[in-house]
Amino acid sequence: MKPLLRALAGETLPVPPVWMMRQAGRYLPEYRATRERAGGFLDLCYNPDLAAEVTLQPIRRYGFDAAILFADILLVPQALGAELWFETGEGPRLSPVATPGALAALRPPGAVHDTLAPIYETVRILARALPPDVALIGFAGAPWTVATYLIAGRGTPDQAPAHALKATDRALFEAILERIEGATVEYLSAQAEAGAEVVKLFDSWAGALEGEEFDRYCLAPLRRITAALRARHPGLPVIAFPRGAGARYAGAHAATGAQAIALDDGVSPEWAAAEVQTGGCVQGNLPSRLLVEGGQALVEETRRVVRAFSGGPHIFNLGHGITPDADPDNVHRMLEAIRG
């Protein structure tokens, strides 16, 4: 069995499997060259040959234990019928869905596949092309995080538009999340059918929810999606990433049903080993900034993470995505510190 799948099955390995969030990205010169060939970010996402190429680039360069599909979390709302485009230097823009009429205009969850068919073809290409010991991870954004973009029409620093709609029209807010949730199940199920061996749910703005709302709009959708995928694809491992959960990471395996909980670097690895890893496999959680800074601090912190999680199942990763200003040579240094 592939090392990543062994860890997800609960095995404690002498050397943890390793991959990085955003490992195919702007820090690599070969990625930048391929993106230029594609013509734009969305053009790259929807070109199966080129999307597969950028997914494979970090595998060739570094020999990671997993490849993660190159796509974007906002492809799901686009497939539901929202307009999606990227403003240079500013990020994604969506036609906002914050009224009953805008929600009614969206497609049903089962209608997303025509738009997303090129993504499934990328998965099929990767399933054939990856080395036999490298696992293939599919992914999607979690409903709350995707909804924050869809309701506002863009990324926001505090998710205020989503919070405002939740306060003024709870029924509409929940109906939007329900539509995203259904589409997410369809999307990830199709990725699994195409060859994804693991799927990951990114709830990047989970930390903006508190108390009962964290349970209701972060944990509960993750649990329902995981259960729906397990019903369709018995044995499919799920990695849940409720970023910013803090103390709420404790108990997240049981609360979500996921085989692994991905950790940001806002919690110490020692705390997480004691409070989270007892529930199952954990993934994380080296600070991304260390791949910019490098030096002995990178080596020492990498070894600290490995040491802290050495008593249970662990997938080495960053606490968030690698940044465009990271030094590719520092990734080699990180891997040497992990693998010896």
**Measured distance CA(68)–CA(323) in Å, rounded:** 16
Q: Name residues whose C-beta falls within 8 Å of residue 161's C-beta, 6 or more positions apart in sequence.
A: 96, 98, 148, 151, 152
**Active-site annotation holds for 72:** yes
Catalytic residue among 149, 187, 217, 249: 149
**Active-site annotation holds for 158:** no
The single residue listed with the structure tokens 């062994």 is: 6
**Measured distance CA(16)–CA(9) in Å, rounded:** 13
**Active-site annotation holds for 32:** no
Catalytic residue among 72, 203, 264, 265: 72
Q: Which residues pair with 138 in a beta bridge?
A: 199
181 and 224 Cβ atoms separated by less than 8 Å: yes
**Active-site annotation holds for 26:** yes
Q: Which residues pair with 284 in a beta bridge?
A: 316
**Active-site annotation holds for 49:** no
Catalytic residue among 35, 124, 232, 289: 35
Catalytic residue among 26, 61, 216, 223: 26
Give backbone dihedrals phi and psi of 21, rounded to 5 degrees, phi first.
-60, 135
Q: Name residues whose C-beta falls within 8 Å of residue 321's C-beta, 6 or more positions apart in sequence.
A: 20, 21, 22, 25, 288
Catalytic residue among 22, 224, 248, 333: 22
Torsion of CA 106, 111, 117, 123, to 10 degrees: 100
Residues annotated as part of the active site: 22, 26, 35, 72, 149
